[in-house]
Amino acid sequence: MKFWFERGAWASPRAMRKISEKTADQIKSIAVIRHAALGDMVLTRPFLLELRKHFPRATITLSLIRNYTYGAPEDLVDRTHLAYGYGKDQPKVSFFKQFRKMRELGYHDIIFDLAAVTRSVWTCILNPAWLKIGFPYHTSLGKWIYDAQVFRSDFKFEAEMLLDTLNLLGFRTEYPLNFHISADHMLREMPYIIYFTGAADPKKQWPLSLFGQFINKMTGAYPSYEHLVLEGMKPWEKLPEIMSGLKQVKNVTPLKAQDLDKTISLLKGARLVISNDTGIRNLAIAAGTPTIGIFFITIPFRYWPRFGLHEIIYRSDGNVPTVDMVFKAAQNIIKIIENNKVANQ
């Protein structure tokens, strides 16, 4: 193998010397550390598919944390490793037990740390490998931990950035991205649009008053569509507050949170999904459904694929987007969808 870069990556002199010692076929085991929530799990799928393609003889282990396993791409790996998690999962466990759990990952020919958070860094440090490849923001710190690293950016779709760690090794990766989401399209009596008003952090939620105004405007503009408002699992993602303002609207349907397979099927069947910065939107992207993401706190470019019908709504001054901004984007996408449907008839 060989490192392929001039700028935008780094490899230690030792790694530069030893990288040619093995071919991809000689790599027998790989660990991928991805300590992250649902949205980031979904974006890891193209990386794991490419990893399997370019290292056909390797067993692949995915390292997760216990309270972030929902939506983990376990179907694409041979083994999972569970470290202790954050929040409520952490204080009950001593540092000794946490470190011992991290060390259970064991030796691998290559370790990819695709999280670069405190727990993933320690997991990387505590387990030996022939080669450790990182994906950090703080590249100077990474030089003490990894043999090679790709410099992370806020201005490129994160699923594509993960593939940069394979491009570093000279592997050609597929584009547009392949997520390999297998689920049937859900069929309902009317074509439907999905709205998800929740977010992992309530600070990321577009104000419910604006979301309610927007849904009301969409139902008037598109009466031939069913408008589904999807409930999340967290307390601030419940629907009574927003649905109270939509009682008089006939073509609005609230939907309770469902299991992952049913949610994917629902997203796959939608004409359009409109949400905050959430894992639901990433699932819709992976399912091949057009999306609109509403951003005003997180940097939007990391979650904006430049393929397919996906739009991000944000204001350059960082203020909250208006109802008209989101509505115009929805109009544009629905017009394209309907024109394409007519052309294909």
Same-domain pairing of 103 and 210: no
What does the pLDDT look like over 263-297, one tens digit per residue? 999 999 999 999 999 999 999 999 999 999 999 99
Are 13 and 158 in a shared domain?
yes
Are 156 and 200 in a shared domain? Answer: no
Instruction: Among 134, 152, 167, give the residue marking a domain's end.
Output: 167
Assess whether 163 and 204 both reside in one domain. no
Walk across the sheet containing 310-313 and list its strands: 252-255, 226-230, 192-196, 272-276, 291-294, 310-313
Confidence at 336, pLDDT banded by 50, 70, 90: very high
Q: Please check whether residues 14 and 148 belong to one and the same domain.
A: yes
- Note whether residue 85 is domain-resident: yes
Query: Is residue 256 located within the same domain as residue 326?
Result: yes
Q: Is residue 4 part of a domain?
A: no
Question: Within this chain, do residues 134 and 221 fall inside the same structural domain, yes or no?
Answer: no
* Listed residues 151, 167, 183: the one ending a domain: 167
pLDDT tops 90 at residue 66: no
Task: Judge contact between 271 and 192, C-beta under 8 A.
Answer: yes
Residues 6+ apart with CB under 8 A from 44: 32, 34, 36, 73, 114, 159, 162
Q: Which residues contact 95 (CB under 8 A, 6 or more apart)?
A: none
The domain in which residue 220 lies consists of 192-343
Query: What is the pLDDT at residue 88?
Result: 59
CA–CA–CA angle 168, 284, 82 (5° rounding): 60
Spatial separation of the C-alpha atoms in residues 279 and 301, rounded to whole Å? 15
Angle at CA of residue 290, ends 286 and 293, nearest 5°: 90
pLDDT tens per residue across span 3-49: 999 988 999 999 999 999 999 999 999 999 999 888 899 999 999 99
- The reply to whether 185 falls in a domain is no
Q: What pLDDT sits at residue 344? A: 65
What CATH number has the domain bearing residue 294? 3.40.50.2000
Query: Longest C-alpha distance within the chain, in Å?
Result: 70
Residue 89's pLDDT band (cuts 50, 70, 90): low
Domain membership of residue 187 (yes or no) is: no
Q: pLDDT confidence of 194, banded at 50, 70, 90?
A: very high
Record the tokens describing residue 339, joined without a space: 């024109």
Confidence grade of residue 345 (pLDDT, cut at 50, 70, 90):
low
Sheet holding 129-134, edge to edge: 9-11, 148-150, 129-134, 108-113, 29-33, 59-65, 79-83
Instruction: Match 């139902």 to its residue by tokens.
Output: 219
Q: What is the DSSP string of 176-240?
A: S-------PPP--SS-EEEEE---SSGGGSPPHHHHHHHHHHHHHH-TTSEEEEE--SSGGG-SH
236, pLDDT greater than 70: yes
Cα 32 from Cα 54, distance rounded (Å): 15
User: Same domain, yes or no, for 338 and 201?
Assistant: yes
CA distance 62 to 73: 9
What pLDDT digit, counting tens, does each position of 101-158 carry?
Answer: 999 999 999 999 999 888 999 999 999 999 999 988 877 878 899 999 998 889 999 9
pLDDT at position 22: 96
Q: Are residues 319 and 241 in the same domain?
A: yes
Number of domains the chain is built from: 2
256 in the same domain as 140: no
CA distances from 124 to 11, 110, 146 (A): 16, 10, 8
Q: Cα(2)–Cα(16) distance, rounded to whole angstroms?
A: 8
Query: What is the spatial distance between Cα 210 and Cα 134, in angstroms, rounded to a whole number?
Result: 40
Assessment of whether the complete model's pTM goes beyond 0.85: yes
Q: Are residues 147 and 21 in the same domain?
A: yes
Identify whether 99 is part of a domain. yes
Amino acid occupying residue 248: Q
**Residue range 162-177: average pLDDT?**
96
Quick one: CA dihedral 210, 206, 245, 221, positive or negative? Answer: positive
pLDDT score, position 256: 86
Q: At residue 248, does pLDDT exceed 90?
A: no
Whether 232 is in a domain gets the answer yes
Q: State which of 167, 200, 217 marks the end of a domain.
A: 167
Q: What confidence category does residue 91 fall into, taking pLDDT thresholds of 50, 70 and 90?
A: low
Is there a domain that residue 2 lies in?
A: no
> Do 220 and 326 have their domain in common?
yes
In a domain, 246, yes or no: yes
Q: Which pLDDT does position 343 carry in this prediction?
A: 66
